[in-house]
Amino acid sequence: MGLKLFSNPFLLNSFRNGARSQLTYALVSSPCASPVLFAVLAASAASGSQVLSVLTMVSYALGYTIVIFLSSLLTGFAKQAKLLLKYSEGITKFGSVALILAGIYYLFIGIKWFIGG
């Protein structure tokens, strides 16, 4: 049964493309995600409770993967919906402005924390 599944060229190509994109994502996101993962690992190890450690790691995994899942799901919906094409330039500009404002906010919060205010 399993071998017949990959005899279908469409499924095989989908699997290959998915594996490539996940490998690329893993290589790109690793430098950003590793410090957070190590902090979560250290916090869960320092808790001293196996149950709390498992809950900490499960909540980290769910929080990390749900963002990726939702963004890929919404991207797929956006590609399917022709209605959004006429608004794509405005959506891109809004997203860009939102990211810049969030970056400025976190920069000021970081500077305030660093100075001690």
| pLDDT computed for residue 33 by the predictor | 76
Residue 104 reports pLDDT greater than 90: yes
Q: Where are the domains of the chain?
A: 84-117
| pLDDT computed for residue 94 by the predictor | 94
Q: What is the pTM of this model?
A: 0.48
For residue 5, give every residue at least 6 positions away whose Cβ sits within 8 Å of its Cβ, in sequence order, or none.
11
Given pLDDT bands bounded at 50, 70 and 90, which one contains residue 83?
Answer: confident
Given pLDDT bands bounded at 50, 70 and 90, which one contains residue 73?
Answer: confident
CB 43 within 8 A of CB 56: yes
Helix ranges restricted to H, the chain: 2-5, 9-46, 50-80, 88-115
| pLDDT computed for residue 14 by the predictor | 60
